Amino acid sequence: MRARARVYRDAFTAACTEAGTQVDVYYAGKAFLSVAVARWMTQEGLRIDTASLGELTTALRAGVAPGDIGLHGNNKSDAEIDLALRSGIGRIVLDSLPEVARVAEAAAALGVRAPVMVRVTTGVHAGGHEYISTAHEDQKFGLSLAAPDGEDSPATAAVLAVLARPELELLGLHSHIGSQILDPAGFGVAARAVMTLRAEIARRTGVLVPELDLGGGFGVAYLPGDVPLDPERAAKEMVAALADAGRELDQPLPRLSIEPGRSIVGPAGVTLYTVGTVKPVRTDDGSVRTYVAVDGGMSDNIRPALYGADYHAEIVSRASDAAPTRCRVVGKHCESGDIVVHDVALPGDVAAGDLLAVAVTGAYGRSMASTYNLVPRPGVVAVSGGVATPIVRRESVEDLLALDLG
Ligand code: LLP
């Protein structure tokens, strides 16, 4: 995880230095955050992006300098805004017009000036293997750049509202176009769209917005043979798009920031399960598939059920010469959709007690875990140089019952 953090930091620093600007890399804690993770990321020179009171409190508890923390959210609570302002975090990313007033009023009440960014919706929707451009995005995040009938776009209106409030300091404009992006072209389209808004703001108000954040979304390889997005290529594409747009719009380059989550922690994480029941099942086409049940499932990795996500698994506790057999790895929950790996070849002698490792589960696995069926969530163990250190304690049934008021 630390090595991957360095790769992103170095790739973007190199591309930005060459272009004559600077970059901050924020680790998106939603992918997986703990006190140890926040500490490692800051030790590697990354900042921390949070999106809830829990993530923000974890980053602060880890001793991350408040100025190096950002707060996101389309529906921030009063408690989140209050903690962000009281602790003096580096930036609050505003997501709606009412939030401009809410944060300004909260800052006024505390007698502070709130550093803010405005999140814009560029109309670029990216994710998976391609990006498609849509004129209007029917989704909950950010403020649209689309201007109906010559009126100000919601994004422009929000930026003007921020500039009108002395309690707010406009640090930048923010765009996040999607997740698990494998084609960097969408980042370039988004960069250009945000640069165009920056030029409009400069023309109308004389204010040159200092920073652009182009979000996270850098895709990883989940299966053997998948090709991940190359961070150096992504960095070059983003910076080239900013530089091109800057030349065309006669604007200096802004400072850049990005927010990778999955690409930092995803490939660093492996889930270890113990095999339990092994059951041959006849499929609709008459062939046999072996169902290999493990001691977890959709409660520790909801991604196959939620997104149809594919993973790779291997038996890691022993070598086997048995011929491979067609398997489906399933969990222990009361749903037939509780699938961990849809289709994988495992040794034909796979049996109860074997340890099964599922790769690339570091992002959005433990962080989206539930206690469905009152199955306690697994712990997290960090491994470095052959030394294993627990960083999140395994939950117990007693932990779950401690919340039950009887
Ligand atoms: N910045 C913002 C504003 C975001 O909304 C996200 C992810 C990120 C950064 C980090 O994106 P990443 O680099 O991790 O792709 N649960 C889904 C992914 C949801 C991503 C939500 N936002 C999954 O498991 O695929």
Place 137 in a pLDDT band, splitting at 50, 70 and 90: low
Q: Which residue has the tokens 């994710």?
A: 127
Q: 185 near 126, Cβ under 8 Å?
A: no
pLDDT tens-digit readout, 253-271: 999 999 999 999 999 999 9
Probe ligand 1: pick from 27, 139, 238, 259, max atoms within 8 Å of CB? 259
| Residue 125 pLDDT > 80 | no
Looking at residues 218-243, what average pLDDT do you find? Answer: 97
Ligand 1 center–CA 5 separation, angstroms = 16
Sheet with 339-347, strands from edge to edge, namely 313-315, 355-359, 270-282, 288-294, 324-330, 339-347
**Sheet of 178-181: strands edge to edge?**
130-133, 124-128, 178-181
pLDDT at 132: 45
- Name every residue whose Cβ is closer than 8 Å to that of residue 302 and which is 6 or more positions away in sequence: 368, 369, 370
pLDDT at 17 over 50: yes
Band (pLDDT 50/70/90 cuts) for residue 68 is very high
pLDDT at 13: 98
> Is 55 annotated as ligand-binding?
no
Ligand 1 pocket by Cβ (under 6 Å)? 28, 30-31, 49, 72, 176, 179-180, 215-218, 259-263, 303, 307, 363-364
Q: What is the pLDDT of residue 148?
A: 80
Calculate mean pLDDT across residues 49-59. Answer: 98
* pLDDT at residue 130 is higher than 80: no
Structural domains of the chain sorted by starting position, each given as residue range(s) with its CATH number in brackets: 2-265 (3.20.20.10), 270-397 (2.40.37.10)
Average pLDDT over the chain reads 95
pLDDT in tens, 83-117: 999 999 999 999 999 999 999 999 999 999 999 99
pLDDT at 123: 84
- Whether 303 shows a pLDDT value over 90: the answer reads yes
pLDDT given for residue 150 in this prediction: 84
**Residues 164-217: pLDDT tens digits?**
999 999 999 999 999 999 999 999 999 999 999 999 999 999 999 999 999 999
In ligand 1, the atom with minimum distance to the C-alpha of 263 is: 13
Q: What is the mean predicted confidence (pLDDT) over 140-147?
A: 91
Residue 129 pLDDT exceeds 50: no
Best residue for ligand 1 mutational test, from 262, 367, 370 (most atoms within 8 Å of Cβ): 262
Does the annotation count 327 as an active-site position? no
Confidence (pLDDT) at 95? 97
Q: Would you state the pLDDT for residue 314?
A: 98
The lowest-confidence range among 30-34, 134-138, 213-217, 321-325 is: 134-138
State pTM to two decimals: 0.97
Question: Which ipTM score applies to this complex?
Answer: 0.99
Q: Which residues pair with residue 170 across a beta bridge? A: 116
pLDDT, position 281: 96
Distance 7 CA to ligand 1 centre (A): 19
Tell me the average pLDDT across 369-391: 97
Atom of ligand 1 nearest to the CA of 93: 3
- Does residue 259 have a known ligand-binding role? yes
pLDDT of residue 58: 98
Residues 15 and 230: their CA atoms lie apart, in Å, by 13
